[in-house]
Amino acid sequence: MTASENNMIKVLTERTSIKEYDTNAAISKEELTELLRITTKAPSAWNLQHWHFTVFHSQESKDRLLPIAYNQKQVSQASAVVAVLGDLKANLNGEAVYGPLTEAGYMTEDIKNTLLSQINGAYQSSAFARDAAFTNASLAAMQLMIAAKAKGYDTCAMGGFDKEAFVKEFAIDERYVPVMLISIGKPVKPAHKSSRFEVSEVSTWL
């Protein structure tokens, strides 16, 4: 096993959900921007990139979020909190994704139009659009947590918050649906001990 493989496995196996953070530890806007840049390398269906991020960096913004997140202390204590939103109209990204590829000669106009037709056809179903928003935004969320761990930060994913109040308080466009909150910072104490089921209990081999 190579050193890079060891490092990656270490990051993956040591990632835990941290709920108590060092309130004196800061993360810069530049660091957060770099984390989000890495996050946007996550895979997505048709490469439509079904995500948007609302970043709570200032203490004032985190304190506004706190009651909406049912007063979970990590929201206020963390260096930053990123709300991961799913794009319910990701099909509208199709031209921006495929147009440059066509212009550069990597894709024919016919193939582009076929793909856009397939995408827009699928998005006639609101259930499909919602499922795709949650699935693909969740891939980005996991990428964010792994990237943060690799850069020396810990995280906690939170699905428990008042999504209607979140949308209203922060004027979220109806195009987006809140998926989860992710706190980012330096821990003051380890995560609670947890266990995982054996692979044999969570897999079926055919």
**What pLDDT was estimated at residue 63?**
97
∠ CA 158-42-155, nearest 5°, is 30
Residue 3 included in any domain: no
| pLDDT tens figures, 130-151 | 999 999 999 999 999 999 999 9
Tally of structural domains, the chain: 1
Cα-trace Rg, the chain: 19
Residue 100 included in any domain: no
| pLDDT tens figures, 71-102 | 999 999 999 999 999 999 999 999 999 999 99
∠ CA 11-13-15, nearest 5°, is 65
CATH code, domain with 148: 3.40.109.10
**What pLDDT was estimated at residue 2?**
85
**What's the CA gap between 156 and 20, in Å, rounded?**
10
Residue 42 included in any domain: yes
**What pLDDT was estimated at residue 131?**
98
Burial of 54 (0-12, 13-18, 19+ CB in 10 A): middle
pTM of the model: 0.94
Residue 115 included in any domain: no
| pLDDT tens figures, 150-162 | 999 999 999 999 9
| Residue 139 and residue 145 in contact, taking contact as beta carbons nearer than 8 Å | no
**What pLDDT was estimated at residue 163?**
98
Other beta carbons within 10 angstroms of residue 164's beta carbon come to 10
Enumerate residues 6+ apart whose C-beta is below 8 A from 195: none
Residue 198 included in any domain: no
**What's the CA gap between 154 and 56, in Å, rounded?**
16
Local confidence band at 190 (pLDDT 50, 70, 90 cut-offs):
confident
Enumerate residues 6+ apart whose C-beta is below 8 A from 160: 69, 70, 72
Residue 120 included in any domain: no
Determine the structural domain holding residue 159 and report its residue range. 15-94+131-187
Residue 107 included in any domain: no
Structure tokens at 121: 């056809």
Please report, as a single letter, which amino acid is at residue 43. Answer: P
Residue 137 included in any domain: yes
∠ CA 203-130-197, nearest 5°, is 20
Strand partners, 183: 81, 156
Local confidence band at 193 (pLDDT 50, 70, 90 cut-offs):
confident
| pLDDT tens figures, 95-130 | 999 999 999 999 999 999 999 999 999 999 999 999
**What pLDDT was estimated at residue 1?**
76
